[in-house]
Structure 1
Amino acid sequence: MTSIVAVTACPSGVAHTYMAAEAIESAAKAKGWTCTVETQGSIGIENELSPGVIADADIVILTKDIDIKNSERFEGKTIVRIGVSDAVKRAAAVMDKIEKHLAATVA
């Protein structure tokens, strides 16, 4: 089973951070994948990803609107960087692209 981890953050650190997290989780689960999302909002880091969850991940999704704190944790992983608005509005399309990428790397 494909495992995704993501970190969402937006410049204001409020609504879009959490909307993006929810959209990514929903789109991944619709594919039957596991997904764990860390948010870096105005109140700090929530649901911080553990080293084990990161190690088990096939793909890391990072929003790129502002710097993600502690991004060095993901070195050596396949990273997809998307805008927070794309995460909110186009999460299913992002998952489709990830699925194609994963299929191509297995073939």
Structure 2
Amino acid sequence: MVNILSARAVPLTTAEIGRGLEAVTDIRRRHFSRNNPVRDLYNQSSERERKALCLLARLSERHINMKFEEMNEREREQLIEGMIVMRTLTEHFPPRLLHSYKVLEDK
């Protein structure tokens, strides 16, 4: 059976209004924040790091010099998928890899 009652305003207490506003503020902070760690990571990466990320994301060379904000939604999604691939790959590296790289660099 379909409910066909008309909508009506429900009076709220000041405390309920306050809790509702806090909830909305929290949702906005978590989901619509200007703080974007993926954007910050990509934009602050070196050209070499961006090249590796773009390769894993199957993006073209023109993306290497682009900022994250300049990419469209599909390109951003591809970039995030490339970052996930990189993270998965590097989880399997031996723990002493960084140390041995520095030793090779000093020679």
Common fold, TM-score beyond 0.5? no
The structure that is strand-richer by fraction is 1
- Bigger RCO of structures 1 and 2 (CA < 8 A, at least 6 apart): 1
Higher helix share: 2
TM-score, normalization: structure 1? 0.26
